[in-house]
Structure 1
Amino acid sequence: MMRYWLLAMLLLPAPAQAFDIAGTEGTRLTALEVAVFDEPWAMTFLPGGSMLVTEKGGDLLLVSADGSTIDPVSGVPKTAYGGQGGLGDIILHPDFASNRLVFLSFAEPGTLGRRGAAVARARLAEDGSRLENLEIIWRQEPKVTGKGHYSHRLVFSSDGHLFITSGDRQKLDPAQDFGSALGKIIRLNADGSVPQDNPWQDKGQLAKTFWSMGHRNLLGIAFDAEGRLWQHEMGPRHGDELNLVQPGANYGWPLVSEGNHYSGANIPNHDTAPHFTPPKAYWVPTIAPSGLVIYDGGLFSAWQGDALIGGLASRALIHVDLEGESASEAERFEWGSRVREVEQGPDGAIYVLEDGSGGRLLKLVPAD
């Protein structure tokens, strides 16, 4: 949905002054307000430092590096807005500098009230004003009722494969079903075709797209410098997980979890079923993770190779120490806002999007 941006910007409050955030272990950050959005969901940096930002309601925005200009990008596909659904992730093709391809995810309307995640690729016009030649390269099968757990986070591997998180859509059992893409991590070629070396080649055509299974609501995925794939997902009632993703692995949902059902009904823990892959870290009580980056910049030298996770329910940025294949929370930064997205800027700063109406884009740097 398009809006009258000039009026909107006039109605927004003036940018706030910088403020400091104290971590639980004594580290201090300075937060600089860059811009304000309506239900922002994801962002990515373009060459030169400008940004593409998605809003859940269906708008894709081109934002200058300092936030002084915010312009709509046309050509965005129609989204099924509502609940957890709407416009989702946005990433660049690894060869964006030469092909200008972007990939975006969204909740797609279907028939009879059914919905599902989808991923499209398109060319961003030279002036950034529109998407061209948009084509949908993946659809979550099957489309189902409900408005939750789309997940649809995106990341490219160093060898050019596209990974898509496909949530369980709050249907639970399909996460263990080879005939359903719900509750899986999907691996595709950049054109949407299926790699022949995906792990499940004998479980049906749909299963040939799967990289891992047994997932719930996966709202963060990233590669570390060694090529290891990390992913986090929300548990049911607590038990959020940070997983090291292996091809062909089953992470157990809904048969095992470190949390319980919302009703209070027990779910066996991972250690009761060793054939399922357990998380490398988990959280009780919940942090409600959303957004993930493995830091490799120079501005926070002590954080090299560590994970930074946005927290919705925890209203925090969570720093997780990664040592090889081990993970543990190192520090937490709270300023009273739900954090929807985390990205590393070209300058090494950490950029976070706050959730909801009036969600700010904040640039985090070390405090003086």
Structure 2
Amino acid sequence: MATVSTLGALVALAVAIVLILRKVPPAYGMIAGALAGGLCGGADLVQTVTLMIGGAQGITSAVMRILAAGVLSGVLIESGAAHTIAETIVRKVGEIRALLALAIATLILTAVGVFMDVAVITVAPIALSIAQKAGISRAAILLAMIGGGKAGNVMSPNPNTIAAADNFHVPLTSVMMAGIVPGLCGLVVAYLLARHLSGKGSRVVVAELTQHAEGARPGFAAAISAPLVAILLLSLRSIAGIAVDPLIALPVGGLAGALLMGLIRQCNQFMVSGLSRMAPVAIMLQGRADHLPHGSFFHATGGSVNMAVHERLKLLPYETLVGFNIAAVSALMLGVFNLAG
């Protein structure tokens, strides 16, 4: 297989970022960046295309999980469940503490094994409703969800923790336990930063939300059933050793929620709506690199709250600060004070 030099990788990164910032559709920007990087990095045209196809094949499972999340998202949005959940959260915990609730919800999803981008996309419909009702900025809700996702990610049984446990020959549970305190510290930092941003940036308007007549919305118990079923199925891996992939858990959660809300006959409508929302997000998975502009996470999470690229870029320093906090606490705990020893 052909290899690409460091120069080629840097060229690919630069071309992709420049094109995206010039408002070229991110999928095309990343394809152009990959093509330019391959050619500049020592591969010929055929080898470059082969590398691009191989990379795309490697993310097929992630694309499928994103599309599967559309069932749950469609049920939450179209049934009015997201509106009910948001209204209840704002009423019970208050407008500012709603950011903490969003962060914790995303933490729980990632902690039980949901990929971080899928977790943000799952919680996003609820977050948008909360932001509109409470007058919170788009940046604040997205940072709260991303911060919660990062916090849950370091304590979850995900491929990263599994690989770390295997490579260092330690139990997976030990790796997960070691991430709890750093993750919670990251959650606190994310919440404080989200509060700081709550009045800055664009706001969510009513036109972005699916409206429902008051009497047509489900009650809170029925509305929360869909995400609860999904979380329960995902948590079976850590509770009972039964691995239920998000590809199964998220659609089943959505279908169970529709059944409990008495809307099972409208499931096809919900799924069509959810798929239409997730398809553009899934295309973004042709990129990588976590929260950087040429990566899928950057666009998937920004798209989940209808955030423009220029505003999404302004969130990068805050995301980095959350991640740095988690890393710093981990280094102090495990490297300096040896608290896990």
Give the TM bin, normalised by the shorter chain. Answer: under 0.3
Richer in helix (by share): 2
Could you tell me the TM-score, scaled by structure 2's length?
0.25
Pick the structure with greater CA Rg.
Answer: 2
Could you tell me the TM-score, scaled by structure 1's length?
0.23
Richer in strand (by share): 1
